């Protein structure tokens, strides 16, 4: 496993953003783990977060990127932190752009915050956790309407490795297939379990296995 992935997993645990226990998700599923990116809210944490996203973008999409785009609202700080750290680490200046939930009709008008989008821009979308695709369904048309850009793909912090509407595919795989873009994650739950297995109790391991027997894509529930 790449060093930055191990460091990111440790960072998530130390900051209490990743927890193990008994949680009810927005989807109604009962999960033995929970990711709360809202816990990452101070300067040091945003530097760590931006660093992990920047390194993962470089690994998955290369460094020939012009814009990091963060869908409102959670994607906004992610895009800002990533743009800053991408330049710090790789010496390449990239812009950040985000959408507003409502179009502003006075002052700084329009639907975008940050940089405008230009023809030919190579764009990477950043989000917090595995998406069902709803956010991309809303955001991609907004991005495409601004300019003739190339969307290189989408990256999230954690791939939960659960199925979406199609039980044969993960939610991220569905997004990739539906929108014709590459999808990636800084870490997956398989990475998390590999890294933390010596620290997880037998009950937690069994709870995770049971969860993926129910919600893992068919035939690929061997996360731990």
- Catalytic positions are 104, 106
In 3D space, the residue among 219, 215, 223, 214 whose CA is nearest the CA of residue 196 turns out to be 223
Q: Are 69 and 79 in contact (CB under 8 A)?
A: yes
HSE-up of residue 119 (Cα within 13 Å, Cβ side): 0
In 3D space, the residue among 196, 213, 204 whose CA is nearest the CA of residue 32 turns out to be 204
| Both tokens assigned to 75 | 């994607």
Distant-in-sequence contacts of 43-46, Cβ < 8 A, 24+ apart: 45/11, 45/15, 46/77, 46/81
Q: Are 189 and 9 in contact (CB under 8 A)?
A: no
In the block, residue with structure tokens 């569905």: 174
- Paired residues of 95 in beta bridges: 67
């Amino acid at each position: 496993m790449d060093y930055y992935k191990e460091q990111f997993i440790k960072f998530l645990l130390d900051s209490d953003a990743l927890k193990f226990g008994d949680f009810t998700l927005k989807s109604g599923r009962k999960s033995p783990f929970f990711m709360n990116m809202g816990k990452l809210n101070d300067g040091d944490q945003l530097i760590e977060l931006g660093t992990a996203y920047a390194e993962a973008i470089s690994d998955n999409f290369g460094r020939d990127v012009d814009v990091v785009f963060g869908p409102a609202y959670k994607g906004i700080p992610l895009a800002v932190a990533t743009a800053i750290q991408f330049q710090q680490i790789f010496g390449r200046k990239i812009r950040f752009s985000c959408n507003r939930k409502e179009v502003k009709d006075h002052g700084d008008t329009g639907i975008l915050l940050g940089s405008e989008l230009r023809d030919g821009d190579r764009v990477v979308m950043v989000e917090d956790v595995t998406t069902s695709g709803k956010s991309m369904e809303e955001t991609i048309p907004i991005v495409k309407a601004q300019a003739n850009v190339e969307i290189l793909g989408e990256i999230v912090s954690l791939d939960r490795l659960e199925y979406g509407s199609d039980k044969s595919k993960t939610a991220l795989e569905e997004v990739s297939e539906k929108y014709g873009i590459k999808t990636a994650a800084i870490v997956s739950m398989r990475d998390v379990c590999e890294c933390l297995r010596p620290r997880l109790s037998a009950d937690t391991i069994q709870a995770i296995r049971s969860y993926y027997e129910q919600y893992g894509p068919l035939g690929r529930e061997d996360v731990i």
